[in-house]
Amino acid sequence: MKQPTHHKDERLLELTKNLVAEYIGRESNRQSLITVTSAVISDRLDKVTILVTVLPESYEETAITFLRRQASEIREYVKNNARIGRIPFLTFDIDSGEKNRQRIDQLSLA
């Protein structure tokens, strides 16, 4: 995975992140808060990993299962709402970096 190096890659990631967040907001069951925090594109530009945080944390596995089960519908939503050519394959994972940052923040306040 790589960080975007071209303006076009950055635009693709930002648009994908926003549309995935929109879809989640419309389709999630609201038992947990799923927040899209980041997106990382593969070197071949054919796969985007969407990183999320989930509150409460006890719902992380349920949320990831939901997102993975909905991956083709989410990709279709992105395709229908983005005016870009080829839509990359979407994968989902917990943003452990963000979780670690939040934990450090909590510890520093204690």
Distance separating alpha carbons of residues 72 and 61, to the nearest angstrom: 19
Report pLDDT digits (tens) over 18-29.
Answer: 999 999 999 988
Task: Please compute the mean of the pLDDT values over residues 97-102 and round it to a whole number.
Answer: 66
Mean pLDDT of 76-91: 90
Do the Cβ atoms of 44 and 29 come closer than 8 Å? no
Indicate the domain borders of the chain.
7-109
Report the CATH architecture of 7-109.
Answer: 2-Layer Sandwich (3.30)
Taking all residues of the chain, what is their mean pLDDT, rounded to a whole number? 87
Separation of alpha carbons 52 and 39, rounded Å: 9
Pairing label, strands 89-94, 47-55: parallel
Residue (of 18, 25, 80) closest to 48 by Cα position: 18
3-state secondary structure at position 48: strand
